[in-house]
Amino acid sequence: MSKQIRAAIIGSTGYGGVELIRFLLHHPKVEITSVVSSSSAGESIAVGFPHLNHVMELDLDQVDIDVIQNKADVVFTATPSGVSSGLIPDLLAAGLKVIDLSGDYRLKSGELYEKWYKHTPPTEAHLQQAIYGLSEVFKEEIREAELLSNPGCYPTAASLGLIPALSMKRIDPKSIIIDAKSGASGAGRKLGLSVHYAELNENLKPYKVNQHQHIPEIEQTLSGIVNEQTTITFTTHLVPMTRGILCTMYADLLEPCNEQQLINEYRDYYKGRPFVRIRNKGSWPSTKEVSGSNYCDIGFSIDERTGRVTILSVIDNVVKGAAGQAIQNLNLMMGWDETTGLQMTPVYP
Amino acid sequence: MSKQIRAAIIGSTGYGGVELIRFLLHHPKVEITSVVSSSSAGESIAVGFPHLNHVMELDLDQVDIDVIQNKADVVFTATPSGVSSGLIPDLLAAGLKVIDLSGDYRLKSGELYEKWYKHTPPTEAHLQQAIYGLSEVFKEEIREAELLSNPGCYPTAASLGLIPALSMKRIDPKSIIIDAKSGASGAGRKLGLSVHYAELNENLKPYKVNQHQHIPEIEQTLSGIVNEQTTITFTTHLVPMTRGILCTMYADLLEPCNEQQLINEYRDYYKGRPFVRIRNKGSWPSTKEVSGSNYCDIGFSIDERTGRVTILSVIDNVVKGAAGQAIQNLNLMMGWDETTGLQMTPVYP
Amino acid sequence: MSKQIRAAIIGSTGYGGVELIRFLLHHPKVEITSVVSSSSAGESIAVGFPHLNHVMELDLDQVDIDVIQNKADVVFTATPSGVSSGLIPDLLAAGLKVIDLSGDYRLKSGELYEKWYKHTPPTEAHLQQAIYGLSEVFKEEIREAELLSNPGCYPTAASLGLIPALSMKRIDPKSIIIDAKSGASGAGRKLGLSVHYAELNENLKPYKVNQHQHIPEIEQTLSGIVNEQTTITFTTHLVPMTRGILCTMYADLLEPCNEQQLINEYRDYYKGRPFVRIRNKGSWPSTKEVSGSNYCDIGFSIDERTGRVTILSVIDNVVKGAAGQAIQNLNLMMGWDETTGLQMTPVYP
Amino acid sequence: MSKQIRAAIIGSTGYGGVELIRFLLHHPKVEITSVVSSSSAGESIAVGFPHLNHVMELDLDQVDIDVIQNKADVVFTATPSGVSSGLIPDLLAAGLKVIDLSGDYRLKSGELYEKWYKHTPPTEAHLQQAIYGLSEVFKEEIREAELLSNPGCYPTAASLGLIPALSMKRIDPKSIIIDAKSGASGAGRKLGLSVHYAELNENLKPYKVNQHQHIPEIEQTLSGIVNEQTTITFTTHLVPMTRGILCTMYADLLEPCNEQQLINEYRDYYKGRPFVRIRNKGSWPSTKEVSGSNYCDIGFSIDERTGRVTILSVIDNVVKGAAGQAIQNLNLMMGWDETTGLQMTPVYP
């Protein structure tokens, strides 16, 4: 079978990069033609990632726009923030579609980007051109994207869990508190003391409390939904596991409702969107139940005594929080079924 | 050196029991004279717990009040809830001091006990007699206790983190949300699918959302502090680690204040209480930093944008959340320095 | 596309069972028509395994040969040892092909079975009828099987690592020592203290030293290869992880050779067998590099000082050690490409 | 109580260093007067190790021999190999007793040191002066030491497990195979991909097969016991846990014997040595059973079919494999009871 489009992956030796490879190898319409990593160029990608032996042994390419232009139709940039924005203008100018996993194009405000990311922002034109790829919510815009900005891992779990309740005016936007927990792969393959094995194992660590760069991204999305500036309280924690994000979210109900009502409304909202699964009453999702897959599972608890709802949302940060959603967005951009190449059952146990 | 008092431990083959042994062996004034476990009576405790070989090899005793009365001055009951209350009246009648780790005597209301624990409550007289042993807060009452009810693990971490702010009227009691996370040892040594290794490893699981039996215990304590009925939102999560509890707590500030003010006020509040350590500004505690020790570490973040404070409190659930605080309470009951036998440095890494 | 054959899974609520489901759902030629579990019959399989929500929600069937006969062409029995042998004669009599993952039909000697498994053995006729499904080694026999006995997890890793060296007379069969390590999923979903989270986490435990029931299975296979009775030394360890087996194997070289020679000979031996990957010189496999996949990775170290070779072999015990190899054997039995439905890239990290 | 001697710790911000602090704080005869770390000098040690808040908040000193000479009687050097040997000659010249945890003085042959450690060896005089501190075996020599070379973690577990059998001529020295497994803390606090959380979690990794620098150290010790050059086969593995070493060791019995005989002989050999515990027949040690303590637990299995014995030996690599044994050696050097300050019960679970 001849594949329909050719893809290059820049930053292919990070966890997002190798997860793109894992999924794209099973994608019936996409062929990976270039894996790019300036630090290890010339070497087979399977040297640093022996799990790819016999599976995918392409030699790593230098970052060279001309080469990429010849080899690919679409480029995934899975580079650190601050790096993507140096490459993407040239990639776009070369006529390539770009799906950026870095975070550089998520915030519409260059000022906010600079404040939270401490890098020089991309140009205003590119910021405005970029389409924010929360697949289930912005499907129509995504279909037209040339530059797709893939959402952050925490924002994906949080936004998918909150948007239906906000859009149905079930909860008070000013009351939102997000207690987020992530496995270590979210920090990438870059070494650091916080993800040194002996420091994280048998440990649970809050970090960047009220300071995480995903705060403005979530606020931007939720503000758009409710049409007013929304501010959240957001705590992040490192959990001694590799994959998985759980957002436990709290909000005041605007008027009393029960869990089954909410469940029904969420199921309506996500009708026809196969990667969001709403749990039955009394059942809450755990991270392992989506591990290795593109699912986002959401559950609820309402406490009548306090008038608050607790919304629990889990994803695999490397899949729905990165590579999987990027491919889901590519599918939408190409007019394909959004599940193409992504129908992987969670790996359990 | 001759020890001053003799202690018996009922329920010595659970995790709370063997942790009592670990600490009491280093206590200069207490001698363990009986370890009780009806299920394994007659066998050395080191058979089921080989880490105790050469350290402590007493044979396990039957539950027999006469024998215990002859062997001990004080009894720790580290039994499941619903079991302790069947033994304690006789132990008290036999003139023994009792420190109960089970939960049976924590709630002053028998009705609430029955609702949340699904067991028949102890008698009203015993419920009223029991002193709630949150060591740092109820020191004076504890000195006089004959029946000491040792706090739950979550309530210890949560209450120590919230009480100073509540008693200083810094936060709105109606706004309190507690996002609690625990390692698996909190579930004890009793087998269950939720703590089966392959189910919990590489997993993060919410459970008993708004339904945990520690909710009324925390509410009872906080209500007493603020002198009005207080209701909390409380979520519990199982984390893939053995020891440790982190409570991430959210509340609305009644008026603006900064982190350093709060830090100073907490340090004042806990002055002279060596097991509570307040972190410096910008530093948040992780569970490993107290592991194996009786410390409770507390840190803060204030978000001026939302007017909320985030309070982070960690303990080792087996120590400050169970065996350690029980010994701290014994020390207070005996008029000894509260740190006696408890000055263990956290085990790191 | 219409599927070619219908499969039933007996024992579908164990880890082997749900892993069969994960792979068969992606198999182009097999349709799962019945999932059987007497303990939960009538309930959707997704109730106990929420990761299967929206993926596979068949109701669990009773064990009923007539029903299975009507619904299926092939049956996977992923039941505990001692249970399969009670069902399989009837399944065979009903004209079904059977692939047994239980261990009941692996040993040709009923006497040995009784000694190591402590159950009554199957009939001699069925023991002789059963084909041992070590896919890479007994391909021809497997093609003809009606009753296929799927190898144990340890025997798969050990035999694949040792057989080429033995068949090429590189090593002394009398010198073989196998130091085997496994993750907790190998013990199944049945509760037990040894796989209770707080007991296994941050722990490494030898068990059944020289006593594991996989010893006679490995010896039977190796004895067949060298045509003489072979006895091994075999130690098993539980490692604090969910998936993965590593066998570190030691043997005396019959005459000096170097690692590259061995690598070349192993690559020759496994030519055309895509699921065995021989590592390059100086590179040794780790369990995560095959996790979630059907690969067996093998590496070597030769110590000229001692004249011994160290052979390292890793598999995912749930895949190549159970469900994956079972499907590989089905593929062979059906005359299909052996990789059909099994081309999953390892999940990394 | 006034402490009898003053100790300095060079390299106090590694895991060995902070474990020395944890134990020495409870040592009745030793006062820590200087903690040295050139990289963080001037800062409290509790900044980088918040578990030491309120426990030990000394400011870190520069490496300055004059200062150390004034402040200390004994110096622990817990520095990387290649660093200690640059400091120790001056420390000795200053009249200080030195206990070196680095490995620089373990091998008597400078040539072997250079081959395995790739550093310039210490002077021949210092190599010969250094006493090898395997506490249970070389007690007499240790009493006289001025320069004590603390054994490596693997060599401690392996040698304690093998020496009695060798000295009693129970096993063939030429047949020894050591399959060693370690938690991640053995690699120290220095960052590296092999101990990056997402790479080691849910993974089991062989490394340095037949190449570990502890090989010549073990061979030197065993050769001394049997009075002939002994060569071992030695494999090391990284296990996803923080603390603990298990050595599974294989050897040919010189003549048949049973497990109880061996148990008795080992108990005789280690009579009066409280930190070695020999397990009863049929019971094998796991790493958690010694975690946080100075114990070495040893168990056996004999397979009559093969004539081989399997010896299993566990330690906590940070305690008996480093800081604990170093203090045990100090106790011996000072003529104190060897358990002084070391009577910590293992932390379980």
pLDDT in tens, B268-327: 999 999 999 999 999 999 999 999 999 999 999 999 999 999 999 999 999 999 999 999
> Of the candidates D198, D201, D240, which has its C-beta nearest A15's C-beta?
D198
Residue among C118, C111, C108, C103 nearest C321 (CA): C103
Residue among B258, B240, B261, B236 nearest B157 (CA): B236
Chains touching B by CB (3 or more pairs below 8 Å): A, C, D
pLDDT in tens, A192-225: 999 999 999 999 999 999 999 999 999 999 999 9
ipTM for the whole predicted complex goes beyond 0.90: yes
Which residues of chain D does C349 touch, with a Cβ-Cβ cutoff of 8 Å? Answer: 198-199, 201
Res A2: pLDDT:
67
d(CA B336, CA C7): 70
Tokens (6 digits) for A192 = 């650091």
Predicted confidence (pLDDT) at residue D34 exceeds the cutoff of 60: yes
Mutate to test the interface with D, among A189, A197, A199, A245 (most CBs of D within 10 A): A197
Which pLDDT tens digits describe chain A residue by residue (349 residues)? 468 999 999 999 999 999 999 999 999 999 999 999 988 999 999 999 999 999 999 999 999 999 999 999 999 999 999 999 999 999 999 999 999 999 999 999 999 999 999 999 999 999 999 999 999 999 999 999 999 999 999 999 999 999 999 999 999 999 999 999 999 999 999 999 999 999 999 999 999 999 999 999 999 999 999 999 999 999 999 999 999 999 999 999 999 999 999 999 999 999 999 999 999 999 999 999 999 999 999 999 999 999 999 999 999 999 999 999 999 999 999 999 999 999 999 999 9
To the nearest 5 percent, what fractions of chain C are helix, strand and coil?
A: 35, 20, 40
To the nearest 5 percent, what fractions of chain B are helix, strand and coil?
A: 35, 20, 40
Res C3: pLDDT:
85
Beta bridge partners of D25: none
Which residues of chain A does B199 touch, with a Cβ-Cβ cutoff of 8 Å? Answer: 288, 349
Predicted confidence (pLDDT) at residue C1 exceeds the cutoff of 60: no
Predicted confidence (pLDDT) at residue D103 exceeds the cutoff of 90: yes
As a whole number, mean pLDDT of residues D143-155 equals 98
Res B157: pLDDT:
98
Res C2: pLDDT:
67
pLDDT in tens, C55-89: 999 999 999 999 999 999 999 999 999 999 999 99
Q: Which residues of A participate in catalysis according to the annotation?
A: 153
Buried/exposed code over A34-68 (b: 16+ C-beta within 10 A; e: otherwise) = bbbbeebeeebbbbbbbbbbebbebebbebeeeeb
Predicted confidence (pLDDT) at residue C8 exceeds the cutoff of 60: yes
Beta bridge partners of A247: A180, A313
Minimal-distance CA residue of chain B relative to D273: B54
Query: What Å distances lie between residue B262 and A211, A344, B279, CA to CA?
Result: 19, 49, 11
pLDDT in tens, A240-275: 999 999 999 999 999 999 999 999 999 999 999 999
Res B169: pLDDT:
98
d(CA A25, CA C41): 38
Res C210: pLDDT:
97
Residue recorded with tokens 């925490």: A154
What CATH code would you report for A154-316? 3.30.360.10
Helix (H) or strand (E) holding A267: helix A259-269
DSSP assignment, residue C319?
I
d(CA C316, CA C318): 6
Res C230: pLDDT:
97
d(CA A290, CA A345): 8
Residue D221 — φ and ψ, nearest 5°? -65, -50
Distance from CA of C312 to the nearest CA of A (A): 15
Say yes or no for a CB contact (<8 Å) between C283 and A50.
yes
For chains B and C, what is the number of CB pairs under 8 angstroms? 58
Give the CA dihedral C157, C158, C159, C163, nearest 10 degrees: 120
Contact C14, C78 (CB under 8 A): yes
Say yes or no for a CB contact (<8 Å) between C49 and A348.
yes
Classify C5-129 by CATH class: alpha beta
As a whole number, mean pLDDT of residues D108-132 equals 97
Minimal-distance CA residue of chain B relative to A252: B175
d(CA A188, CA D298): 40
Q: Which residues of C participate in catalysis according to the annotation?
A: 153
Predicted confidence (pLDDT) at residue D97 exceeds the cutoff of 60: yes
Minimal-distance CA residue of chain A relative to B211: A303
Which pLDDT tens digits describe chain B residue by residue (349 residues)? 468 999 999 999 999 999 999 999 999 999 999 999 988 999 999 999 999 999 999 999 999 999 999 999 999 999 999 999 999 999 999 999 999 999 999 999 999 999 999 999 999 999 999 999 999 999 999 999 999 999 999 999 999 999 999 999 999 999 999 999 999 999 999 999 999 999 999 999 999 999 999 999 999 999 999 999 999 999 999 999 999 999 999 999 999 999 999 999 999 999 999 999 999 999 999 999 999 999 999 999 999 999 999 999 999 999 999 999 999 999 999 999 999 999 999 999 9
pLDDT in tens, C103-121: 999 999 999 999 999 999 9
Buried/exposed code over B81-116 (b: 16+ C-beta within 10 A; e: otherwise) = bbbbbebbbebbeeebbbbbbbbbbbbbeeebbeeb
Res C160: pLDDT:
98
Say yes or no for a CB contact (<8 Å) between C233 and D209.
no
Residues 6+ apart with CB under 8 A from A288: A244, A346, A348, A349, B199, B202, B203, C51
> Of the candidates A285, A297, A349, which has its C-beta nearest C242's C-beta?
A349
Domain ranges for chain A: 5-129, 154-316
Chains touching D by CB (3 or more pairs below 8 Å): A, B, C
3-state secondary structure of B333: helix
d(CA A314, CA B205): 10
Which residues of chain B does D346 touch, with a Cβ-Cβ cutoff of 8 Å? Answer: 51, 55
Chains touching A by CB (3 or more pairs below 8 Å): B, C, D
Which residues of chain C does B198 touch, with a Cβ-Cβ cutoff of 8 Å? Answer: 15, 183-185, 187, 189, 195, 242
